[in-house]
Amino acid sequence: MKVIIINGPNLNFLGIREKGVYGNTTYEEMCSYLYKEAKKIQVHVDIVQSNIEGEIINFIQGAYEKYDGIIINAGAYTHYSIAIFDAIKSISINTIEVHLSNIQAREEFRHKSVIAPACYGQICGFGKYGYVMAINALVQQ
């Protein structure tokens, strides 16, 4: 199985930004962890990140006929990007939305995900382990 993990804006600043919410683990450390965990599950993962909405859409469209699953943490775009919603809907790849923090326990504007209805499922609040949960969910379907 081949899965792409797409990370959106500000994820590259893990370990720097809002440590009380996101912890001390850096983005590079999280990616290393995910590569190791995916290997244990015998899943090939590619991990990409962009702060630019159009690049995230390009990653989604580029996954078409190349990947068996997508895991996306769209960051703030989660809450207002109809374009990312449309991109997910335009391909026939099971996509799981992941968030490191529990978006329901944060500011009210974070409670609604406009991309969730286009996704197979949503996992939030489990930190970097949420990505591992998503990989397992894609394997099990």
Cite the active site residues: 22, 99
Helix (H, G, I), strand (E, B) or coil at 119: coil
Tokens 């989604």 belong to 60
Q: Are 73 and 4 in contact (CB under 8 A)?
A: no
| Spatial CB neighbours of 23, under 8 Å, sequence gap ≥ 6 | 14, 15, 127
Instruction: Let me know the angle formed at the C-alpha of 46 by 68 and 106, rounded to the nearest 5 degrees.
Output: 90
CB neighbours of residue 47 within 10 Å: 19
- 60 within 8 A of 83, measured Cβ to Cβ: no
